[in-house]
Amino acid sequence: MSEKGNCIGYAARDPSGVLSHYEFSRRDLGTDDVSIRITHCGVCYADVIWTRNKHGDSKYPLVPGHEIAGIVKEVGSNVKRFKVGDHVGVGTYVNSCRDCEYCNDGLEVQCVKGSVFTFNGVDADGTITKGGYSSHIVVHDRYCYKIPDNYPLASAAPLLCAGITVYAPMMRHKMNQPGKSLGVIGLGGLGHMAVKFGKAFGLNVTVFSTSITKKEEALSQLGADKFVVSSDQEQMKALVKSLDFIVDTASGDHPFDPYMALLKTGGIFVLVGFPSEIKFSPASLNLGMKTISGSITGGTKDTQEMIDFCAAHGIHPMIEVIPIQYANEAIDRLTKRDVKYRFVIDIENSLK
């Protein structure tokens, strides 16, 4: 495979979402680009959505993957932040206008003209972006992150979407005040990271789950302080007006009023999942002057800060490392929530 030559990957060809071997070309290295040999790629629910055309906008053949970790193999002549051999990450977007107030503020994910998604996006040159289930990627250096050498690349991958999706709103709403109390709804890829950040920030963390099977793990391995089965009304009632913050990572439909009741006066509820609708009584919001807020990943500034925070505090996602040949089974298992708590594809050792 020549240096600039073709890239190998796994692509879905139609809404069945079935992934199979696919060869394509990446663009040539530009003056501001970084060419990255991908070593690992996390499996995110976004991969399910777009491989299976759940939003009706999938462009096939589609190469998914936006939790990318790897090693720099070449840099453009203008690139100063990275050098060959550096460990780097790429997250959910690879381009933006670089000129609006949000881009200027390091919040590129909120770009006024729309950021360009890492896969299934339309890039500035009109090409369709292809993601991390592939051997290498060429990305403008602005959208690459430095991963400290002592932080495992397999662990870094899920930080690029799952990690930043909970970290960014937690920081924005000052959920890093030791001694305060946090509720986390849902214990998947995002939820387990919210628990880990909550504990690192010195919060008292309560996990809400529909499944009792996750109790032992939430308490012993993730270090949560309490575990509540959300359908248990007694347990829920006992927590009324006890939480400063709630991070809701659940994408299945669920009621909101019971959780809003758990917030203290002035409490903040952040939604990062995508249920089909949100319904709650106005009184849930108005009485007790509560805030409900939404969020998607984060800007380049927050993302780099979060990676450095994880490295400094020894925070690692819980992962199951798989070969790319297992990707179809992994995506099936993800739809059944059968993963603790993030699949990471070992691209380097399995994609040949």
Read off the CATH number of the domain in which 142 is found.
3.90.180.10
Q: Are residues 263 and 210 in the same domain?
A: yes
Tens of pLDDT, residue by residue over 144-166, are: 999 999 999 999 999 999 999 99
Q: Which domain holds residue 39?
A: 7-161+317-346
CATH code at position 256: 3.40.50.720
pLDDT tier at 34, thresholds 50, 70, 90: very high
Question: Average pLDDT in the 276-300 region?
Answer: 96
Model's pTM, two decimal places? 0.94
Question: Average pLDDT in the 244-248 region?
Answer: 98
3-state helix, strand and coil shares in percent for the chain, rounded to the nearest 5: 30, 25, 45
Tens of pLDDT, residue by residue over 83-134, are: 999 999 999 999 999 999 999 999 999 999 999 999 999 998 999 999 999 9
The identity of residue 276, as a single letter, is S
Which of 279, 294, 309 corresponds to the end of one domain? 294
Q: Are residues 13 and 141 in the same domain?
A: yes
Question: How far apart, in whole angstroms, are the C-alpha atoms of residue 91 and residue 68?
Answer: 6
Q: Are residues 60 and 200 in the same domain?
A: no
What pLDDT is stored for residue 337 in this prediction?
A: 87
Q: Residues 26, 44: contact at Cβ < 8 Å?
A: no
Report yes or no on 301 lying in a domain: no
Q: Residues 35, 20: contact at Cβ < 8 Å?
A: no
Looking at per-residue pLDDT, the higher value among 214 and 66 belongs to: 66
Q: Are residues 47 and 169 in the same domain?
A: no
* pLDDT of residue 4 exceeding 70: no
Q: Which of 147, 143, 88, 153 shows the shortest CA–CA distance to 121?
A: 143
Question: How far apart, in whole angstroms, are the C-alpha atoms of residue 317 and residue 334?
Answer: 16
Residue 310 parent element (H or E): helix 300-313
Tokens coding 137: 């990627």
Query: What is the residue-averaged pLDDT of the chain?
Result: 96
**How many residues does this entry show for the chain?**
352
What pLDDT is stored for residue 211 in this prediction?
A: 87
What pLDDT is stored for residue 208 in this prediction?
A: 97
Q: Are residues 83 and 210 in the same domain?
A: no
Question: Average pLDDT in the 25-47 region?
Answer: 97
Question: Average pLDDT in the 232-251 region?
Answer: 96
pLDDT tier at 1, thresholds 50, 70, 90: very low
Report yes or no on 256 lying in a domain: yes
Report yes or no on 31 lying in a domain: yes
**Helix, strand or coil, per DSSP, at residue 156:** helix
Q: Are residues 97 and 193 in the same domain?
A: no
* pLDDT of residue 5 exceeding 80: no
Task: Give burial (CB, 10 Å; 0-12/13-18/19+) of 162.
Answer: buried
- pLDDT > 90 fraction of the chain, expressed in percent and rounded: 94
Q: Are residues 142 and 168 in the same domain?
A: no
Q: Are residues 120 and 138 in the same domain?
A: yes
Question: How far apart, in whole angstroms, are the C-alpha atoms of residue 189 and residue 49?
Answer: 16
Q: Residues 180, 268: contact at Cβ < 8 Å?
A: no
Of the given ranges (1-10, 265-274, 290-299), which has the lowest mean pLDDT? Answer: 1-10
pLDDT tier at 139, thresholds 50, 70, 90: very high
Tokens 């690879």, residue? Answer: 94
Q: Assess whether the previous peptide bond of 341 is cis (omega < 30° from 0).
A: yes
Report yes or no on 305 lying in a domain: no
Report yes or no on 227 lying in a domain: yes
What pLDDT is stored for residue 251 in this prediction?
A: 86
Which of 261, 279, 294 corresponds to the end of one domain? 294
Q: Residues 304, 312: contact at Cβ < 8 Å?
A: no
Look at the chain and report how many structural domains it folds into.
2
Report yes or no on 140 lying in a domain: yes
pLDDT tier at 302, thresholds 50, 70, 90: very high
Report yes or no on 45 lying in a domain: yes
Q: Are residues 211 and 141 in the same domain?
A: no
Q: Are residues 63 and 204 in the same domain?
A: no
Q: Are residues 110 and 241 in the same domain?
A: no
User: In sequence order, what are the beta bridge partners of 69?
Assistant: 40, 89
Q: Are residues 12 and 134 in the same domain?
A: yes
Report yes or no on 286 lying in a domain: yes
